[in-house]
């Protein structure tokens, strides 16, 4: 995604593109495919634990495949913050109950899917860019959520907000998310949920990355 808009990406070493060649349909397809893959894990009672754009491989035909399943475990100190730089960055994708209570469920992955949706909608933008984990935890306790980017539809943003419900039980299942994403994808012919013509890449140039 970043390479498509001419931004250097440490995870993909291909040639830079001079312009964004990803439209709303392609980006929404990524989101639907990832939701479908996560629904399969949900049915198998498997947690991903680190769902993020960096752990999605995209083939030349736009086929998405999940990686990094069960590879990372956050390390917490007595103040509940990650003890390593990598962990502190991973917290930005972690559900509030994972950070505060060290609890992980499939509904924690749903929260992470909401963050991944933000990454997709911003064509590789970083969540909470430039903010540290203490700021994030304090703000999440006060019910702060990332605002809707100007180029993203309210319908798609509402999916993110549903994923970021404080109570895990109030978040949608991945099975439901698949249906929602398919409905939004079908609506693409009438509405661009990620309106690239209004997309301002300058707002998402600053990046926070996890160096594994």
Q: Which sequence positions are flagged as catalytic? A: 50
> What CA–CA distance (Å, rounded) separates 10 from 209?
8
> What CA–CA distance (Å, rounded) separates 125 from 127?
7
> What CA–CA distance (Å, rounded) separates 174 from 111?
11
Contact by Cβ (8 Å): 109, 47: yes
> What CA–CA distance (Å, rounded) separates 206 from 196?
19
Q: How far apart are the first and last CA of the chain?
A: 19
> What CA–CA distance (Å, rounded) separates 122 from 201?
8
Placement of tokens 């399943």 in the chain: 69
> What CA–CA distance (Å, rounded) separates 197 from 24?
10
> What CA–CA distance (Å, rounded) separates 69 from 152?
29
Which residues lie across from 57 on neighbouring strands?
A: 65
CA atoms within 13 A on the CB side of 170: 7
């Amino acid at each position: 995604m970043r390479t498509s808009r001419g931004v250097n990406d440490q995870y993909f070493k291909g040639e830079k593109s001079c312009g964004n060649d990803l439209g709303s349909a392609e980006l929404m397809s990524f989101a639907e495919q990832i939701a479908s893959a996560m629904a399969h894990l949900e049915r198998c009672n498997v947690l991903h634990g680190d769902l993020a754009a960096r752990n999605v491989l995209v083939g030349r035909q736009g086929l998405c495949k999940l990686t990094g399943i069960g590879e990372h475990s956050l390390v917490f100190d007595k103040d509940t913050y990650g003890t390593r730089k990598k962990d502190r960055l991973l917290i930005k994708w972690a559900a509030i109950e994972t950070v505060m209570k060290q609890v992980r469920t499939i509904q924690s992955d749903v929260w992470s899917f909401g963050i991944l949706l933000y990454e997709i909608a911003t064509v590789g933008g970083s969540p909470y860019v430039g903010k540290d984990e203490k700021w994030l935890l304090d703000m999440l306790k006060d019910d702060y959520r990332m605002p809707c980017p100007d180029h993203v539809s309210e319908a798609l943003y509402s999916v993110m907000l549903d994923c970021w419900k404080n109570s895990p039980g109030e978040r949608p299942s991945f099975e439901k998310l698949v249906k929602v994403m398919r409905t939004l994808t079908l609506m693409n012919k009438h509405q661009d949920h990620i309106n690239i013509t209004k997309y301002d890449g300058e707002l998402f140039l600053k990046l926070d990355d996890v160096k594994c």
